Amino acid sequence: MGAAAAPADAAQLGRLRWRCRRGMQELDVLLGGWLDAHWRSASAAQRAAFAELLEQQDPDLWAWCTGRSAAPRSDWQALIDDFRARAAH
């Protein structure tokens, strides 16, 4: 089962990586950076929230990431806070 799970996980990661490619390079860096740094260790809830966050429109994501407005869900806001903390370093 472990051998079958690895290709499935790699395929899912590839799909997510593609979805992290946005119309703004800044969002690409924030989203892709979190994917690279945290996906493998993220909880199932964090993974689900991240995948759902990727369905949002770029202007909304950018407003949340720049702090101009707060994300409508606390799990999304937690991810965005992490994006921002990583970008500050």
3-state secondary structure of 1: coil
pLDDT digits (tens, 9 = 90+) for 39-57: 999 999 999 999 999 999 9
The total number of structural domains in the chain stands at 1
CATH number at residue 65: 1.10.150.250
Q: What single-letter amino acid sits at 34?
A: W
pTM: predicted TM-score of the whole model, two decimal places: 0.86
Which token pair is 11? 């395929």
pLDDT of residue 34: 95
Residues in the chain: 89
- Which stretches of the chain drop beneath a pLDDT of 70? 1-5, 8
C-alpha triplet 60, 21, 70: angle, nearest 5°: 20
Place of tokens 């429109």: 57
Domain coverage including residue 27: 2-88
pLDDT of residue 54: 97
